[in-house]
Amino acid sequence: MEKLKVLLIMLLAATSGLAVSIYIVALFLAPTESPLNVLARILTGGFSPDLTILIPLSSLLFLSIVLASMVGVIYFLVLPEMKNYVSGNGREIISVVLRTLKPEERKVVGVLDAHGGTYLQKFITKEAGLSRLKTHRVIAALSERGIVHVEERGNTSEVSLVKWFHDGMHQQINGLDHAGTDP
């Protein structure tokens, strides 16, 4: 709702700016009249004949501003607001990620976590009990999702859990260890 208020204020400001610019042009075209007389003439009798080319242009500008504002209002009302789900310790994020992992991906993440978050791909293959191809595909999928970082090391690759995930896993484990104890 706050964004809608901002959008309406911007529409009001654009409309006011358009009105002021037309008034300034009217003052420029009637330099001998007082500003109050020009304003009174615009409000009561319409624009002077010198402004005939500016009226359609300003009307078109006003119409485009209204149309753009309506599109903005529809955008803010129809599309859901993107929310940043940031937790203080990251436990919820990590638990969601862990729940969405496939069994093979969980094995690879478990092997990496058991070795401090970084391990060579050829050793992950052996410890996870997966084929080299399956390990490669699982690591590629985890890398695409931003869970692991892969760096080439000679004939093999060094696979590391990304910092936010590795730290979050340990916070989650520590939080579970201390959940039943009183401080």
Per-residue pLDDT at 182: 44
DSSP 8-state class, residue 80: P
117 or 1, greater pLDDT: 117
Whether the CB-CB separation of 165 and 94 falls below 8 Å is answered with yes
57 or 95, greater pLDDT: 95
Whether residue 52 is predicted with pLDDT greater than 70 in this model: the reply is no
Per-residue pLDDT at 63: 73
What residues does each domain of the chain span? 2-78, 91-177
Side by side, the strands of the sheet bearing 118-120 are: 118-120, 156-161, 148-153
Tokens 């401090």 sit on residue: 116
Per-residue pLDDT at 64: 76
Question: Right CATH number for 91-177 from 3.30.530.20, 2.40.30.10, 1.10.10.10, 1.50.10.20?
Answer: 1.10.10.10
Whether residue 148 is predicted with pLDDT greater than 50 in this model: the reply is yes
Whether the CB-CB separation of 146 and 161 falls below 8 Å is answered with no
Whether residue 179 is predicted with pLDDT greater than 70 in this model: the reply is no
Helix (H) or strand (E) holding 87: none
Per-residue pLDDT at 170: 74
Confidence band of 60 (pLDDT split at 50, 70, 90): low
Percent of the chain with pLDDT over 90: 30
Whether the CB-CB separation of 159 and 120 falls below 8 Å is answered with yes
Q: Average pLDDT in the 139-160 region?
A: 92
